[in-house]
Amino acid sequence: MTWCIRIALLSEAALGSGQAMAGETDTELTYDEHGIPYYKGKTLKGKLREQAELVGQLYGETATVERLFGSSTSRSSMQEGRLRFGNAYLPYEWYRELAHFRHDEIKARLTAVRIIASLHPETGTMIQNSSRQVRVLTKDAVFYSQLHGMERLQEEEIAFMALVISMTKHIGSMQSRGKGHVWMQLYENDQNVTPYYMNKIKLGAGS
């Protein structure tokens, strides 16, 4: 069985790598060897863990969070837990189409540069030297992250993950500026199984 997380961008997303591109941007995206942007699995795991901890506190499932994601107090927590999160890549069809383009052409098709600046709290004017250029992914892009270790989970744990994934609505930075709005769903063998597990949670809550 193959499990994955489907991430659909409903808005532009600032998934910065922390690196700058001299003469172009202050914050760049992360690219593979073909110049195609992707979202790091380690970053995705951290984002999902934040949501999982909120859900765990709400439903009294903090132990489930530790089992799935590992101990939050350990330096090696990214290596622990039952689940491993692969980097999130664009669909194969996109790769096949983009393979014929240069890196700069790929950027032009999939990304844009936005200028952001801090405003003076009293005057509302731009604070001098506060502007920076951030590269963002354009909306409607779709990414898939392989989810490893699901076969070792109980059905209740899978339902918990489906809930966490579906409740994660934003990724990346600049969320207060309307960036990073996403729709995430859990897939098994190319089938969206999120509705199935959401229904099981509802039935369990009503029993």
| Structure confidence by residue, pLDDT tens digits, 99-133 | 889 999 999 999 998 887 666 576 665 666 657 78
Bridge partners (DSSP) listed for residue 148:
84
pLDDT on residue 173:
86
Rounded to the nearest 5°, which phi and psi values hold at 30? Answer: -100, 130
Rounded to the nearest 5°, which phi and psi values hold at 199? Answer: -65, -40
Total number of domains constituting the chain:
1
Q: Which residues of the chain have pLDDT under 70?
A: 1, 17-24, 26, 72-79, 117-120, 122-130, 204-207
Task: Please state the length of the chain.
Answer: 207
Domain hosting 136: range is: 3-206
**Can you give the pTM of this predicted structure?**
0.87
Q: How far is CA 75 from CA 71, 72, 79, in A?
A: 9, 8, 9
Q: Which of 205, 110, 125 is nearest to 160 (CA)?
A: 205
pLDDT on residue 99:
84
